[in-house]
Amino acid sequence: MDIARPDPKQKKRNKRQRIVGIGGALILAVAIFLVVRLEKSSHHRQYVTIKHDSRVIQAVVVLPKVKNKASVVILVHEIYGLSDWAQEMADELADEGFIVVAPDLLSGHGPSGGGYSDFTNEDDRVKAISDLDNAEVLADLDAATDFGKKLSAANGKIAVVGFSWGGWKSFAFATHRKDLDAVFVFYGTGPEDVTTITAPVYGFYAGTDTGVDPTIPATIDAMKTANKFYDPVTYEGAEHGFMRVGEDRNNKVPANKIARDQAFTRLAKLLREMGTH
């Protein structure tokens, strides 16, 4: 009696078909996920080139999906550069309804003439940012601010938000730029001369920050003497960099997460109220 035996070649073909079928299903599922995610997203991120003087800087611009014109936020990154975290913070602010312009202040300073992504390690980025010329940083922030103000979707109000090194530079920028509606300084030190500041300044500080906290009383006195608006808030138990560290899954200090959530809520609220002080 003849017994039908399975064809080995056919088995391989069937296996390949199953694999292709599974792979196709996975690709389709990922595609559907991305489409749904895009439809649910309340912002649109794009990369632009901003030119000023002899400089060309790259920037991330995140536009909120809103019907009305929106306020512009200039985001000044940490000493780690325009990192994934900085760009995600820009996205998060856009989700609150604000246009965000985040310049890559390392533009032109990379090993091959590029910016943030031109560096292969964090140490080199930190050193390059530490060596940036103060006047150049101010000029870059001027260019980013001018760019933001000219956007057709902008409503004319503009704020600066900076973190750590960026907080320090944002406070310094407030002494230089006269058409800002508000400045938000996250754990950054203030300038000695605050007499030229015209915008209200809001501070966000970490309770255990031994590098920045001792400078706050002098900044309070200087702003008060110059009759400038300054509203610093210190988040007890939080560490320097809590906006980034507080959302890290490896964070072991609960106060960082609490500070991060409270500070972001405060920031969004103040941005919506911008221009009332």
In percent, how much of the chain has pLDDT > 90?
Answer: 83
What pLDDT was estimated at residue 9? Answer: 52
Mean pLDDT for all residues in the chain: 89
Q: How confident is the model at residue 274 (pLDDT cuts 50, 70, 90)?
A: confident
Task: List strands edge to edge, sheet with 201-206.
Answer: 43-52, 55-64, 99-103, 70-76, 154-163, 182-186, 201-206, 230-235
Mean pLDDT of 229-241: 98
Q: CATH 3.40.50.1820: does it fit domain 42-272?
A: yes
| Helix, strand or coil, per DSSP, at residue 185 | strand
Q: Residue 60 has what pLDDT?
A: 98
Q: Are 131 and 81 in contact (CB under 8 A)?
A: no
Q: Kindly report the pTM of this predicted structure.
A: 0.85
Give yes or no for a contact between 149 and 141, defined as CB atoms under 8 angstroms apart: no
The pLDDT value recorded for residue 91 is: 97
Question: pLDDT band at residue 211, thresholds of 50, 70 and 90?
Answer: very high
Distance of CA 226 to the CA centre of its chain: 30
Measured in degrees and rounded to the nearest 5, phi and psi for residue 56 equal: -130, 120
Instruction: DSSP letter for 235, please.
Output: E
Q: Is the pLDDT of residue 28 over 70?
A: no
* Helix (H) or strand (E) segment spanning residue 16: helix 8-40
CB 173 within 8 A of CB 185: no
